[in-house]
Amino acid sequence: MTISDSLLDIICCPVSHEPLQPLDRRRLKSLNRHINDGQVQYVDHTTVEDRAREALITRDGKVVYLVADGIPVLLPERGIGTAQFKEPL
């Protein structure tokens, strides 16, 4: 399920209030490769275990939020900081 444009117009990062945009396929594939390798942690330092079918990223590219069953999980502790990756997503 894809996030509607009308929803994207009103949601934002709960911490920085940066607007969110869909994570494109190339970057989603890269994120999932890191998740499969057990290398991805949420902001609360727990390991991300489930592959992402869909995700949102802040406009500044610093935080990724997964989308579960079409619902963005916008909890501050469930953000995925992109600084943990050696190469940009």
Q: How far is residue 75's CA from residue 27's CA, in Å, rounded to a whole number?
A: 21
Instruction: Count the helices and strands in the chain (H runs, E runs).
Output: 2, 5
Local confidence band at 5 (pLDDT 50, 70, 90 cut-offs) = confident
**More confident call, 4 vs 80:** 80
Please report the pLDDT score of residue 16 as a whole number: 97
Q: What is the pTM of this model?
A: 0.94
Please report the pLDDT score of residue 1 as a whole number: 59
Domain boundaries defined on the chain:
5-84
